[in-house]
Amino acid sequence: MTTRLFTHPVFLEHLVPTGHPERPDRLRAIAKILEDEAFEKLDRVEAPRADPDVVLLAHPEEYLRRIERSIPEEGLARIDADTSASPKSWEAALTAIGAANAAVDAVFKGEADNCFVAARPPGHHAEKNQAMGFCLFNNVAVAARYAQKVHGAERVAIIDWDVHHGNGTQDIFWSDPSVLYCSLHQMPLYPGSGAKDETGAGNIVNAPLSAGDDGADFREAFSSRVLPAIDNFRPDLILISAGFDAHYRDPLAEIELTEDDFDWATGKVMDRANRYAGDRVVSLLEGGYDLKGLAFSVGAHVKRLMRG
3-state secondary structure the chain: CCEEEEECHHHHHCCCCCCCCCCCHHHHHHHHHCCCHHHCCCEEEECCCCCHHHHHHCCCHHHHHHHHHHCCCCCCEEEECCEEECCCHHHHHHHHHHHHHHHHHHHHCCCCCEEEECCCCCCCCCECCECECCECCCHHHHHHHHHHHHHCCCCEEEEECCCCCCHHHHHHHCCCCCEEEEEEEECCCCCCCCCCCCCCCCCEEEEEECCCCEHHHHHHHHHHHHHHHHHHHCCCEEEEEECCCCECCCCCCCCEECHHHHHHHHHHHHHHHHHHCCCCEEEEECCCCCHHHHHHHHHHHHHHHHHC
Flag whether the pTM goes above 0.95: yes
Taking the domain 3-307, which CATH number applies?
3.40.800.20
- Predicted confidence at residue 1, as pLDDT, reads 79
All residue ranges of the chain with pLDDT < 70 are: none
Q: pLDDT tens, 99-121?
A: 999 999 999 999 999 999 999 99
Domain definitions of the chain by residue range: 3-307
- Predicted confidence at residue 277, as pLDDT, reads 98
Mean residue pLDDT of the chain comes to 98
Q: Cα separation of 229 and 223, whole Å?
A: 10
Annotated catalytic residue, options 14, 125, 164, 165: 125
CA torsion angle 266 205 147 60 (round to 10): -130
Catalytic annotation on 124? no
